[in-house]
Structure 1
Amino acid sequence: MTQSQIVKVAAVQLQPVLDSADGTVERVLDEIAAAAADGAQLVVFPETAVPYYPYWSFVMAPMDMGARHRALYDHSPTVPGPVTDAVAAAARTHEIVVVLGVNERDHGTLYNCQLVFDGNGEIALKRRKITPTYHERMVWGQGDGSGLHAVDTAVGRVGALACWEHYNPLARYALMADHEQIHCSQFPGSLVGPIFAEQQEVTLRHHALESGCFVVNATAWLDADQVASVTEDPALQKGLFGGCYTAIIAPDGSHVVAPLLDGPGRLVADIDLSLITKRKRMMDSVGHYARPELLSLRIDRRSHAAQHADAAPGVGAVSEFEEPDHGEPEPYAAYRDAIARSSTG
């Protein structure tokens, strides 16, 4: 008989601090510690949790959003940088895998970035959303396929996609074919209305069934005062409520625990990775149920960087997570204290 392989996972429905990037990061660090205290070995946060999802882009005309877009630039972290150092220290201290969404600043462009920190604090995956959705195209640049793969972590093989990337079946199949065991999905929450939560449920339960994996999904939540700070128009405010669906889903498509649809909070549950084999024994969409001689996927995993310089080994070469010094000021001096606090427990 297959032995159980229990992993305790957590999904955080985070309330961001819209007027303080420092405040949001502090909440992330607190939630990492709280999830670890609950025994969690993996914790997942919402899409672009740091510093916050650009809700204003959904309800403002492009001509009116300049000041808020520039403010997002000012508050968005570089990767690596002080913010990722603080989260890495927390992951290392608590020996917990952290999946965090950030607005990544890379010189003059922002990207919707997903980061997977392994339990030793190292960044196991950095990927950028391949196609920002609708209004998001005014905010973020496009990602590429370099991060479109699963990674081995202390809790198993982890894959990640953001929001409507789940409506790109080939992007999902890329992770399925890479044998993800735990799919970490991130959506904004507090957007569109209740139908958005219903759509997430349909999409993510289907992915669990089709992939034969567990899905851990996290969304954010705004209170009424925060919605009013985004827009004073009552008609537009209606588009900033609902849409929350923080959930943990098994390979048979069932909820491991009841999803969280409103308010800030955290789900914690045990998942048994041996159930993946139970599901795939009957239907393995990238194995015995596949027909690769008829249907297959071609992936371009090259980086779409603006320049590709040839260099001798060790001469001017830059590894994936050792980016050159951008010469930018460090706006996160406060996180030095957070790093020290996490390191000392």
Structure 2
Amino acid sequence: MTAQNGANLVAFSETWLPGYPNHIWMGPVAWQMQFVGRYFDNSIEAGSEQEARLAKACRDNNIQLSIGCSERDGGSLYIAQWHFDETGEVVNRRRKLKPPHVERTAYGEGDGSDLNVVQTKIGRVGLQTYWEHLQPLSNYAMYAQNEQIHVAAWPDLHLYKHMAYALGPEVNNGASMLYAVEGSCFVVAPCSLVTKELQDMLCDGNKDMEAMLPVGGGHTRIFGPDGSELAEHIPHDQEGIMYADIDLHMIGYAKAAADPSGHYAKRDSTRLLINRKKQSAVVNFDDASG
């Protein structure tokens, strides 16, 4: 349907496949373990049949796809974003650099090679998830690559709704908006929501747990490089698709005022050092190297 409506890029939220693991925030580790095996089994592997189906959907519909997923690699999981172009090729496969707080009990880390922006037919596209957008150095690394379209993938923004303001839509959509203004780019910020079925599965009628995980939290937004919103809101407790037309020509107006890594940078005062080398837990040295 999205392709039939003229979409060139379709973006999904953080770990949309197989869904965000809200259980890691909601109870003791022993209680959480009932969900661990199922979540691991339903996470996706690179090069799998499931990836091939996503690639085919892109080819068949002539669309680009940014999918947030729980990526399974060996015995570990990673919060990942895969970007497919319209031919079905994965042009960007990256992992969240540092999962925050209890996410570190479920996921491994990415590295500097994941701070990349790729050239596509629709523009230069970059990807980040959730509170990576509160890491100013990571953001700056992306701005410096002349990013034009940024996919900011978020989970549901309803967890601990009445207990932790920083986890709510005001702060996190604010981060997406600020990213658009700072980076002078368009930001597509897809967000998941908690359904009644998910709440029932995790809370099993426990009212205290339901208070921690209320239904809703879908606060998807699309921002222009001036911070303006470009799409009509969908109610936070309803699933739907948001559309926006973008004009990359508008980026020039924004950067004329403040190009953060160009004419508005203060190179003699502050600079950013990036290690883009892919990191591995195992490094093999041949005999000749000593």
Match for residue 184 of structure 1 among 151, 163, 170 = 151
Q: Paired residues, what number?
A: 278
Alignment of 1:26-65 (within 5 A): 34-65=1-32
* 1-structure distance, mates of 2:52, 2:45: 11
Q: CA deviation at 1:100?
A: 0.3
2:203 is equivalent to residue 228 of structure 1: no
2:212 matched to 1:239? yes
Contact 2:8 2:64 in 1 (8 A): yes
TM (norm. structure 1) is 0.78
Aligned to 2:174, what secondary structure does the other structure show? helix
Q: SS where residue 83 of structure 2 aligns?
A: strand
| Partner secondary structure for residue 3 of structure 2 | helix
In the aligned structure 1, how far is the partner of 2:154 from the partner of 2:3? 23
Measure the CA separation in 2 of the matches of 1:179 and 1:280. Answer: 10
Contact 1:91 1:97 in 2 (8 A): yes
Q: Percent identity?
A: 34
Letter of the structure 2 residue corresponding to residue 181 of structure 1? Q
Looking at structure 2, the residues matched to 126 and 217 of structure 1 have their Cα atoms a distance apart, in angstroms, of 18
1:282 aligned residue (257, 268, 271): 257
Q: Deviations over 1:15-72 (max 9, x none)?
A: xxxxxxxxxxxxxxxxxxx111110000100100111111111102112212311111
1:310, distance to aligned residue in structure 2 (A) = 5.5
Mapped to 2, the partners of 1:127 and 1:68 lie a distance apart of 25
**Matching residue of 1:171:** 138
Displacement of 1:247? 0.9
Secondary structure in structure 1 of the residue aligned to 2:81: strand
2:97 aligns with: 130
Amino acid at match of 2:46: V
Taking the aligned partners of 1:239 and 1:88, their CA distance within structure 2 comes to 37
Contact (CA 8 Å) 1:248, 1:259: kept in 2 or not? no
Partners in 1 of 2:227 and 2:98 — Cα distance?
27
1:97 and 1:153 in contact (8 A); partners too: no
Q: Is 2:97–2:114's contact at 8 Å kept on the other side of the alignment? A: no
Name the residue aligned to 2:187. Answer: 215
1:64-75 matches, within 5 Å, as 64-75=31-42
In structure 2, which of residues 241, 244, 265 is the aligned counterpart of residue 266 of structure 1?
Answer: 241
- Structure 1 residue runs of 5 or longer lacking an equivalent are 1-33, 312-345
Among 39, 43, 46, the residue aligned to 1:76? 43
- State the structure with bigger RCO (CA 8 A, min sep 6), 1 or 2: 1
Give the partner amino acid of 2:172.
Q
